[in-house]
Amino acid sequence: MTYLPPGCATPKIAELDAFWAAARAAVKLDSEHYQVRWIGLDHDSTEEVLELIASGDKTGTFTLSWIVEQTSQPEPAVGDAIILIDSEGHPRQLVQLAHIELVHFGAITTAHTAIDGTPVRDLAIWKPLHTSYWNMLLAPFGKSVSDDMPVWVEHFLLLYP
């Protein structure tokens, strides 16, 4: 199973597989594999993020290579199919990575945050929000956010529904 941060319920494999089969049939996706991710802090923020993605306002996300390394997850790659789940672990959307850029945290600009939802695009909001969240995720690994921390800026396409 994919690494999921604290606060998210573990998805049921059968439910993921059924969603995956429906999505693949609907969009004629050739890929045979998917990843699972939860984007949010809690139920309310997850619902807001999923709505922003559905409306086309949020067109990407950010992944820390340090977390990927610590949890033995695959590095993101263009073409990756990702099932986004809600806080209860239910599959809600299928996105596909379309473009990935590796940037150090200290070099993140509004050009990078433009893929995030409108409420958090401003760097004055984005940096403190992500610093706090990522520090919580990194703490178990003895790490914390720093300007030289590598961040994958991942542009995605909403494929389903």
pLDDT reported for residue 44: 94
Instruction: Enter the DSSP assignment of 108.
Output: -
Q: Per the domain annotation, does 1 fall within a domain?
A: no
**CA 90 – CA 129 distance, rounded (Å):** 25
Helical spans, DSSP H, in the chain:
13-27, 43-55, 65-71, 110-113, 123-138
Give me the number of domains the chain comprises.
1
**CATH number reported for the structural domain that contains residue 79 in this entry:** 3.10.400.10
Write out the residue range of the structural domain in which residue 107 sits.
13-160
Q: Per the domain annotation, does 71 fall within a domain?
A: yes
Per-residue pLDDT of the chain (161 residues; tens, 9 = 90+): 578 888 889 999 999 999 999 999 999 888 889 999 999 889 999 999 999 999 999 999 999 999 999 998 899 999 999 999 999 999 999 999 999 999 999 999 999 999 999 999 999 999 999 999 999 999 999 999 999 999 999 999 999 99
Q: C-alpha angle 10/15/17, rounded to 5°?
A: 110
Q: Per the domain annotation, does 2 fall within a domain?
A: no
Q: Exposure pattern of 94-103 as b/e (b: 16+ CB <10 Å)? A: bbbbeebeeb
The answer to whether 54 touches 106, Cβ cutoff 8 Å, is no
Q: Per the domain annotation, does 72 fall within a domain?
A: yes
Q: Per the domain annotation, does 4 fall within a domain?
A: no
pLDDT reported for residue 121: 96
Q: Per the domain annotation, does 91 fall within a domain?
A: yes
